[in-house]
Amino acid sequence: MPPITPPCRGCAGNSLQPILDLGRVPLANALITADRLGEPEERFPLVLYFCPDCALVQIGENVTPERLFGHYFYASSFSDTMLAHARLLADRLTDERGLGPTSLVVEVASNDGYLLQHYRNRHIPVLGIEPARNIAIVARERGIPTIDEFFDASIAQRLADDGIRADVIHAHNVLAHVPDPNGFIRGLRQLLKPDGIAVIEVPYLVDLIENLEFDTIYHEHFSYFSLMAVERICRRHGMCVRDVQRIEVHGGSLRLWISHERLGAENSVASLIAAERDRGVDDFTYYQAFSKRVWMLRDELLQLLWRLKTEGRGLAAYGASAKGSTLMNVFGIDGCLIDFVVDRSSLKQGKYTPGNHLPILSPDALLERRPEHVLLLTWNFADEILKQQEAFRIGGGRFILPLPSVKIA
């Protein structure tokens, strides 16, 4: 009996069409401690769908947010790229919006305070909303007031009832993580001052499809957004995408400037929506070749890894990331090919990757153990990582970049 197709999480329609079936995989950030290596791991279906009614691309499975984000291993402060990105954006918003001691900046999914610290350092009041309790503790220890709850319309209304309204709301790489995007946008409307602005960054669907970024598909990412899909959800709840920029972070993202509807939109919004229509982003035909391209990439990468292994080359991987978990589990890359994974985050070191149970070590292990090749799972930070690992590369080490086609650097 075929699986029941779920309703669309954007418009509640019942016409979802499957794009790609990645099988049953473990939760991408469910790192394993040594004492749990012998325990069975739960796996969940991972199928990507397209909604012809509202153009929202999404997965069908609904793992509870509490299970996904209640305890989290990703801390943005371990990335120099993200720290620099946050500082530049905070400085820009402070100057453009004239923010000061009487303003309020709120960040949803504020992580360890990596962004809000830049406002705090300029004496602007801030509030973080971060559901991962372990990460919220880190933020508070750094002096960032943080509520450890999931953001939705109810918490936004509670804050508004207490007189807390925001001049600026940041929501970076979080809209994709919410199972109910409609409730999220309603929450922005309730928490945002009448003349306030919400700045949302979200991985861009067009880059995912055209650059074959299938590894960004995992259970934490419920939705994959084109501008037209976001704009339709915002309009449904009295909000407006005022401006849009394409930015390079995370393999290609949209930066959306969202306000109350009465404030209107810039020409950039209509231009990008028109470009999406020209590409056919709102038509299932646009997605039909994606699955075949993914499996062709699998064959290409595995052929290279097995050739290197049979030649006696040492192989490791860089980045115990969610995208790395998807790539390795879907492609069947395990300890037969990869000896260990390194990651800069001390939160991950000493643990094991989900599914294939590879040990996670410090990047120092690359110089200590000297593998000849390293599979770069966090390819979205390639420039930063290749620079950091210059000594390893001077010593003859090489990195394998898996997407959108396999190459060695």
Residue 68's pLDDT is 65
Segment 339-365, tens digit of pLDDT: 999 999 998 999 999 999 999 999 999
Q: Where in the chain is the domain with CATH 3.40.50.150?
A: 76-287
Segment 161-214, tens digit of pLDDT: 999 999 999 999 899 999 999 999 999 999 999 999 999 999 999 999 999 999
Q: Which CATH number fits domain 300-408: 3.40.50.1820, 3.40.50.720, 3.40.50.300, 1.25.10.10?
A: 3.40.50.720
Q: Where in the chain is the domain with CATH 3.40.50.720?
A: 300-408
Tallying the residues shown for the chain, one arrives at 409
Banded pLDDT at 1 (limits 50, 70, 90): very low
Report whether CATH 3.40.50.150 matches the domain 76-287.
Answer: yes
Residue 3's pLDDT is 59
Segment 377-386, tens digit of pLDDT: 999 899 999 9
Residue 160 reports pLDDT greater than 50: yes
- Percentage of residues in the chain having pLDDT higher than 70: 95
Banded pLDDT at 65 (limits 50, 70, 90): low
Assess contact for 376 and 401: CB atoms under 8 A.
yes
- What sign results for the dihedral spanned by CA atoms 380, 310, 331, 336? negative
The overall average pLDDT reported for the chain is: 93
Token digits of residue 96: 């453009």
Q: In the Cβ-directed half-sphere of 215, how many Cα atoms lie within 13 Å?
A: 29
Banded pLDDT at 254 (limits 50, 70, 90): very high
Banded pLDDT at 266 (limits 50, 70, 90): confident
Residue 101's pLDDT is 97
Q: What is the mean pLDDT of residues 10-38?
A: 95
Segment 117-144, tens digit of pLDDT: 999 999 999 999 998 888 899 999 999 9
Give the span between the Cα atoms of 273 and 181, in whole angstroms. 19
Assess contact for 256 and 201: CB atoms under 8 A.
yes
Give the span between the Cα atoms of 115 and 172, in whole angstroms. 10
374: alpha, beta or left? (left if phi > 0; alpha if psi -120 to 50): beta
